[in-house]
Structure 1
């Protein structure tokens, strides 16, 4: 049985954590399959939008503490020689739109992965937690990412207490983008993914990359980088198609080329 499933339909790739008997805790084998799924999504030309979700009643119970490869991952070299940017949740450069569809508890490693998605759609029964400080260890990637997402004090609420946060509170602070009834979660995620596929995929990726990279740039550098990306995207077939479709008053047929 695959610990992570990958399904591609109508330009939408659904990546599903599939270890429900262990509450989707991340062991070494699951981590390897998850990394491979994100690599496939990044490289597959027909995959324009990604959905991260999970089977069973728990989205993710965090790293499997019985398996060190699941808890901290594996990578070449020692941690002082190279950063562990070797996966989606640790900061893989991926500029395709991503959606997290979250139900039940979303803990530790699972929450770190969710934080890297552009849109978090969660059921009213979802909850979120970084429990590391209750085990005597620090949260690292979550601590880097979360304050930019929800603000300082809201981030510290999760990071420094180790206590679970309800879906209602997560929606209030902006961690959740949209909250829905549990029965509607998957349909809502798929509907939003379909909406995203209506736009030009290469233009989306260029826009997201500008937003991502310019966060660490000054204004002049940001504008120069953005204008460079505009020229790169302007040379694609999709731009010609978009303009022609506008002239013809018809929906464009994107090809991601």
Structure 2
């Protein structure tokens, strides 16, 4: 049975090497309150040290994935320091997703807007229901989606990102896939099963290899191409010395399933 990580805002379910974190503020369209942001960040920290977990799924209850920041809470903040604290807290949580040693998959139904769209973009992979929609609509209320822009612009093309940011228009799931914001679009009734199948496929791999690969992927993106090759060559050299690499090669040559040790 799912256990409460934060009974008000976040549920956590660990099964078969897959941890599902479910945003649980359906009446608020899973708006990212300070408490929910903190609960997600705390759960991600816990999962880093949980060797039984290979893949993390971020999902949501109700009809929306996330409406972004809780505007009622934001409006109640007084002073520049309060705003800085909120946006730093949210940015740190998004970075925790990006830097997590385990792959993180977004399972998206309904709408994902503003910081909710940012959360989708921050995940390594995303599976969306066919009727899901995405937007960075801050411009419509005089608040440019500057922090969502960081994740969005690193996932989709510049022209597509700027169109979303400057118009605030919703895009459908098929367009989000074409833009590169999500990987797969599936029928809503199949969303949970299809996301789980993807998570299970990844969870079968060596956890050490997944950790090495995810860290290397994002780090090399920040380098020039020559430096990226130098860095990647060093990563592959270290990876080759790992026990799991030796086991994987032996298993391939011996035509048997590998037995991963995570080292």
| TM interval, short-chain normalised | 0.7 to 0.9
TM-score in terms of structure 2 length: 0.86
Off by >6 Å, runs of 4+ in structure 1: none
1:41 has 2:40 as partner:
no
Displacement of 1:176: 2.3
Q: Give the alignment's Cα RMSD to 1 decimal.
A: 2.6
1:231 has 2:237 as partner:
yes
Displacement of 1:240: 3.0
Matches within 5 A, 1:15-164: 15-68=21-74, 85-88=91-94, 92-164=98-170
Q: 1:224 & 1:152 partners in 2: Cα distance? A: 27
Displacement of 1:247: 4.0
Q: 1:14 & 1:203 partners in 2: Cα distance? A: 21
Distance 1:188-1:200 versus aligned 2 partners, 3 A rule: same
Distance 1:122-1:25 versus aligned 2 partners, 3 A rule: same
Contact 1:63–1:70 (Cα < 8 Å) also in 2: no
Displacement of 1:84: 7.0
Structure 2 residues not aligned, in runs of 5+: 1-6
Segment drifting more, 103-112 vs 194-203 = 194-203
Contact 2:91–2:147 (Cα < 8 Å) also in 1: no
Displacement of 1:85: 4.5
Aligned residues: 251
Contact 1:121–1:177 (Cα < 8 Å) also in 2: yes
Distance 1:36-1:211 versus aligned 2 partners, 3 A rule: same
TM-score in terms of structure 1 length: 0.88
Q: 2:261 & 2:66 partners in 1: Cα distance? A: 35
Q: 1:91 & 1:30 partners in 2: Cα distance? A: 14
Match of residue 202 from structure 1: 208
SS, match of residue 131 in structure 2: coil
Write 1 or 2 for the structure with the bigger share of helix: 2
